[in-house]
Structure 1
């Protein structure tokens, strides 16, 4: 049975982007035979903020 997963990336500054994080997570999932069914990205949000929009959606 294939494990279905979601991945989450976050960057807090405009000189960063989620592209590298997503690539690493995709590689990690593929190596384990996991199927990524959704990708969540928070761009421009500090990790210390609990009110991050996409994180809040992911956390339910």
Structure 2
């Protein structure tokens, strides 16, 4: 359902075979849909996304 709402014409979004375990957030490189999935605690992923939205992520050192 959500997948269909986010999909753009001509864009393919992979189907999820099963939901992730409760409390986990599986993440994959969107440019490499066949790549390995990295799993984060959902609370950690939420904090990361919130920090990005608030522009509160430090730049990496040069």
| TM-score between both structures, scaled by the size of structure 2 | 0.28
Higher relative contact order (CA 8 A, sep 6+): 1
Q: Please state which structure has a larger fraction of its residues in helix.
A: 1
Q: Please state which structure has a larger fraction of its residues in strand.
A: 1
